[in-house]
Structure 1
Amino acid sequence: MTLPHGFVVTLDRHTRVLDDGRAILGGNPTRLLRLSARARPLLSGRTVRVRDAASALLADRLLETGLANPVVEALPPHPASGNGGDPDPDCTYVIPVRDRPQELARLLASIPAGSPVIVVDDASRRLGLVAAVAAEHGARLVSLTVNLGPAGARNAGLRLVTTPYVAFVDSDIVLSPDMVPTLLRHFADPRVAMAVPRITGLATSESSRWLGRYESTRSSLDLGAHPAAVRPGTPVSWAPSACAVARVDVLTDGGGFDERMRVGEDVDLCWRLVRDGWRIRYEPVAEAAHEHRVGLGDWFQRKAVYGTGAHPLAERHPESIAPAVLAPWSTALVLTLLAQRRWSLPVAGSVWAVATARIAGKLTSTEHPVRLAARLSADGAVSALAQGSALLTRHWWPLTAIGCLASRRIRRATALAAVTDIALEYRGGTNRLDPVRYGIARRLDDLAYGAGVWISALRGRSTAALRPRIVMTRRAPQRQPTTTALPSLGDTTVTGQQPARPATPRRARR
């Protein structure tokens, strides 16, 4: 499977072009990609346009390593797609719902008239109301007599889909007119199995409450303002199935959602698709709006429920569930600073210097290996400290609380981690909430999710979802050209540091 002619990719915002285009640095884990003289002209500025086999190979390699993203505006529109607001006969909407007829009506009104729509009623207590709404909007209704949960309801709808693509949409979502046509453009890449939009907060009378304003900035469903490949061990390690477009044949061949999972089923699906060699794209240009829960009790309970998916995911994906991913040197640095002894800063500085020297040894082909290595090791140290802080305040908080009772050093470390996290996250977001209430919501968010993770671990009698993963640096094998016409692409893994986004299962019920 190769990328079609006209396919355009641009380097990720974190990717660096070095030495006048002779090398590219970035991705997860960080790697150095060396370009041969034949390959360099294919990179125009920060863009590669597929024109032949050589440019297709380079673009594919950049996508696979996370060094670049497709330019969705330059991708060809899906053949059957019209303008925004027109129905697409190649895509069927599957909507799982239990009761909630008003929300269902609101969603159906946002779907282009004439689109194939299947509403799967998951054993509603008010089936008549749901049926009336479906009939009013011309949707096909499938009624389940037993509540199967989100995974089972989606699979029931998937089995009835006859189009090449399916759009799963939850009832508390409202679609923008061009969302599905935009996501369908990504399927010009034959290896893309699923594409997901950015999910922002829906403006309602309740969204102005303080938790609503917090969720508008830090919702678990909002994956950010920048496009990304979705894969475990990267900043965008999973994607919510609250709104997603996928290839029907790929999902059918893979068994669809795991119906044994009431939470985390979307994380599991993403990781299985990636494991099988497929790509998942996150595209923030496409948007949908979600009605956030803003009542304190309901909000806290749902955050905790998200965490309870940790152990089922650990059973299925033990290599991907780790709450932190660290290199040996960054682990040593974090532990040294956590000790808070007189020798901590000198030893931590020595660890960083040794790591810098080792990284520089892998960058000898660049013009300024030491300077570049220092920047990379500094980035790795910051990432490691951020992940260590998250362990203290989120995943391990029950142990942290016990430790704070007995240790002044742990109290200092925890206070510093909590305050620094709030300050950095508040500064980095577009907030409509004052810092004090934002900080309270942030800590409650972590307490709830962490409690769910521990409940899950205790039920499963396993600490797999609580253990960090230590990754060793290794040299990646050189990619050999398939013909003499293709550019030589050699890459080297530069650091073992992978800034992981913890797997945060989305919801237990709609």
Structure 2
Amino acid sequence: MRLPPPPADRLPDGFVVRLAPGTQRRDGGTTLLGGSPFRQLRLAPAARPLLRGDRLQVDGPRSAALAARLLDAGIADPEVAPAPFPEVTVVVPVKDRTDGLARLLAALRADPGTAGCPVVVVDDGSADPAAVAEVAAGARLLRHEQAQGPAAARNAGLRQAGTDLVAFLDSDCVPEPGWLERLAGHLADPRVALVAPRITALAGGGTSWVARYEAVSSALDMGPTAARVAPLTLVAYVPSAALLARRAALGDGFDESMQVAEDVDLVWRLAAAGWRVRYEPTARVAHDHRVAPADWLRRRAFYGTGAALLAQRHGPAIAPVVVSPWSAAAWALALTGRPLGAIAAAGVLGTASAKLAVRLAAPGARPPYALATALVVRGSAASGRTLARTVTRHHWPLAVAAALASRRARRLVAAVAVADAVDGWWPHRRELDLPTAAAGRRLEDLAYGAGLWLGALRAGDARALLPAAPPPITPPGPTSGQPPTR
């Protein structure tokens, strides 16, 4: 499904971007290191006066071009103000969940930002359509006699929208006041197609161990940091439970042939078409998580089946592990457990550091060997965590087979499982005890991995199980800040 290209309009005067957390400035502030994937940008002389400190305000074509380059590299984030009372149509797909629908519609009416907005409720084959119609009184109601899936329901509402902006909200969500205005502020950038809030746990969702685990580790929660959303970045997708979209960017909308992962597919198609997608965690929408253990595990397995569909459409963007050949070789040598292997691993990393230092060096300058070594070590450590994660999540059937065949593999898999559980628990140690975090992580990973392998078998396509190499940290040509020619 093709999407329309973004407009040629530049960022408007007054638009502000700020260097993202973790961005490093080198060579007297003329070189920027950061972003996701990690990269280097070198500012041309004409661009250097435009970026003073860590903030850039657009005041013409040159600064607009530089700000856009920084945004697209993930090296800067927009600094946007809420847009009060945007004109938006709210689309709510629902199937049978009348209690949640009533709660959501009440929240929309109580929020000054959405109280007067048109609402389209799409009943996707509910067993009791009269109950849905009663709850949806006051909204425009569409009905599918037979369930067609969430993508088709959202698209039906999208076609009925009479406003430039469309907000999608699932019926098990409750937005916090002000959520829409915070998201709409991003649309001052004419190339932003989609903005997503942070999805949090709905208060009163229960006290069971699953509820406590989901409250801090939900697959729908993309975390506390604002981000550019694109494949192979720290925030690779955003869930469709709550989204604000520019209607003109969506074309025909979600892919209706996908019953799962249709939100990831839309985000990646938008990125490929040249649109920007943003994640804004200061806007929050509460979600009524599934906390019955069987339902929760089935849902995680269902999510896993979507990876094969994404692999068919987007190839290595869905790779379960992204690791450079250097890191892969170093870890393979280190895991031999022999002194010679550790020495060889150190040699591999040393060679990689030397090559990277040459690429990072400014013209005529001495290669920054210390910086390159730090980057290679940090990247290899991150790769090691990712590889360990795949042992317990994406490739656990292979890990189990290896553990059954080898005592050494059994010890290694057990150590990885324990270390990964502690690693996942540590950021949430004040909210959740270690046994609950460990049990939740292991069960969630088993369910997701089972769905991943089932989806790959059904599709006859193993690409969702294969690793990919990251883009190289190769400095592009100087960033001049000159506006692009068209």
Provide TM-score, normalisation by structure 1: 0.89
Q: Structure 2 vs 1, CA of residues 18 and 417 (structure 1 numbering), >3 Å: closer, same or farther?
A: same
Q: CA deviation at 1:409?
A: 2.6
Q: Which residue of 2 aligns with 1:470?
A: 469
Greater mean deviation of Cα atoms: 407-416 or 321-330 = 407-416
Task: Establish whether residue 287 from structure 1 lines up as the match of residue 295 from structure 2.
Answer: no
Q: CA deviation at 1:338?
A: 2.9
Q: CA deviation at 1:13?
A: 0.8
CA displacement 1:57-103 (0-9 Å, x = unmatched): 11111001010111123xxx54xx33xxxxx4x21000000011110
Task: Establish whether residue 49 from structure 1 lines up as the match of residue 57 from structure 2.
Answer: yes
Q: Structure 2 vs 1, CA of residues 480 and 37 (structure 1 numbering), >3 Å: closer, same or farther?
A: closer
Gaps of 5+ in 2: 1-8, 109-113
Q: 2:115 aligns with which of 113, 116, 123?
A: 113
- Within-5 A mapping of 1:286-305: 286-305=283-302
Contact 2:17 2:78 survives alignment (8 Å): yes
Distance 1:362 1:109 in 2: 57
Q: CA deviation at 1:462?
A: 1.7
Q: 1:36 aligns with which of 44, 47, 54?
A: 44
Q: Which residue of 1 aligns with 2:315?
A: 318
Contact 1:214 1:431 survives alignment (8 Å): no
SS at match of 2:431: coil
Distance 2:259 2:430 in 1: 32
Q: CA deviation at 1:475?
A: 4.0
Gaps of 5+ in 1: 83-87, 488-510
- Within-5 A mapping of 1:13-412: 13-73=21-81, 77-78=82-83, 81-82=84-85, 88=86, 90-111=87-108, 112-135=114-137, 138-206=138-206, 208-251=207-250, 253=251, 255-365=252-362, 369-412=368-411
Contact 1:11 1:67 survives alignment (8 Å): yes
Q: Which residue of 1 aligns with 2:5?
A: none
Aligned AA for 2:171?
S
Distance 1:292 1:480 in 2: 45
SS at match of 1:200: strand
SS at match of 2:197: strand
Q: CA deviation at 1:472?
A: 6.1
Distance 1:472 1:437 in 2: 37
Distance 1:113 1:167 in 2: 13
Aligned AA for 1:104?
L
Distance 1:152 1:29 in 2: 33
Contact 1:92 1:165 survives alignment (8 Å): yes
CA displacement 1:127-153 (0-9 Å, x = unmatched): 111111110xx2111111110110010
Distance 1:29 1:386 in 2: 16
Q: Structure 2 vs 1, CA of residues 184 and 345 (structure 1 numbering), >3 Å: closer, same or farther?
A: same
Q: Structure 2 vs 1, CA of residues 382 and 290 (structure 1 numbering), >3 Å: closer, same or farther?
A: same
Contact 1:4 1:188 survives alignment (8 Å): yes
Q: CA deviation at 1:30?
A: 2.0
Provide TM-score, normalisation by structure 2: 0.93
Q: Which residue of 2 aligns with 1:433?
A: 432
Distance 1:55 1:292 in 2: 44
Distance 1:447 1:482 in 2: 48
Q: CA deviation at 1:481?
A: 5.0
Aligned residue-pair number? 469
Distance 1:47 1:414 in 2: 46
Distance 2:478 2:347 in 1: 35
Contact 1:95 1:118 survives alignment (8 Å): yes
Task: Establish whether residue 419 from structure 1 lines up as the match of residue 422 from structure 2.
Answer: no
Q: Percent same amino acid among aligned pairs?
A: 46
Q: Structure 2 vs 1, CA of residues 102 and 363 (structure 1 numbering), >3 Å: closer, same or farther?
A: same
Contact 2:213 2:432 survives alignment (8 Å): yes
**C-alpha RMSD of matched pairs (Å):** 1.8
Q: Structure 2 vs 1, CA of residues 246 and 405 (structure 1 numbering), >3 Å: closer, same or farther?
A: same
Distance 2:219 2:344 in 1: 37
Contact 2:93 2:150 survives alignment (8 Å): yes
Aligned AA for 1:125?
A
Greater mean deviation of Cα atoms: 360-369 or 342-351 = 360-369
Distance 2:429 2:175 in 1: 22
Aligned AA for 2:129?
L
Q: Structure 2 vs 1, CA of residues 281 and 316 (structure 1 numbering), >3 Å: closer, same or farther?
A: same
CA displacement 1:473-499 (0-9 Å, x = unmatched): 37465267585xx79xxxxxxxxxxxx
